[in-house]
Amino acid sequence: MNNTSERDHWEGRYNANEPPPWDTGRVSLELQRRITEYKIQPCRAVEFGCGTGTNAIWLAQNGFDVTAIDISPTALARAAQNAAQAGVSIRFVPADVAAPPDLGDPFSFFFDRGCYHAVRRSNATGILKSLDRHSSPNAMGVVLTGNAKEERKPGPPVVTEAIIRAELGSIFEIVSLDEFRFDQSESDGHRHLGWSVVLRKPS
């Protein structure tokens, strides 16, 4: 897809009669677990594909200086409203995560819940370059992706462990690669299997 068709695609998802399944309004339990497990301290942080802002807001509430990127203007408008209601300040950037504008100095922490696994299907090089460009030496990151061991339709795009090691592992040290289940659930109660990847940028 080109940039316009990508934006239109995600705008359609956020303007549908039902909210997209990943937009639960609940903070990712896996993000909270990883922040606690690795004692990641508040710092300059960026979220790739922030949607309506739930996780970015949680990070800001916990002392992080957050920049949040999404290609959907509708999602960002809702995110800004949610942040204002929560009383936190977040820099929201309307952009393609694979080709964002200059965001200033690289970040010490990044979070990606389902952005990498979606974007890599059409622009793996772009998303990998963006993650590399916007992470500082020794930066930590948490990436949550669909898991190819259990692909379901409807469901998130999936990747194999080998792909994660070949792509994300070409830039970052893979500190941890665990299976988990996404918080979102389908109408039958199924929760999709995912990979929870903790990354560190070499110094």
Ordered per-residue pLDDT tens for the chain, 203 residues: 567 788 877 787 788 877 787 888 899 999 999 999 999 999 999 999 999 999 999 999 999 999 999 999 999 999 999 999 999 999 999 999 999 999 999 999 999 999 999 999 999 999 999 999 999 999 999 999 999 999 888 778 999 999 999 999 999 999 999 999 998 766 677 889 999 999 999 99
Cβ–Cβ under 8 Å, residues 126 and 119:
yes
Q: Which residues pair with 8 in a beta bridge?
A: none
What per-residue confidence (pLDDT) applies to 24?
85
- Record the pTM: 0.93
- Return phi, psi of residue 143, to 5°: -120, 125
Closest by Cα among 23, 47, 38 to 138: 38
The CATH code that applies to domain 3-200 is 3.40.50.150
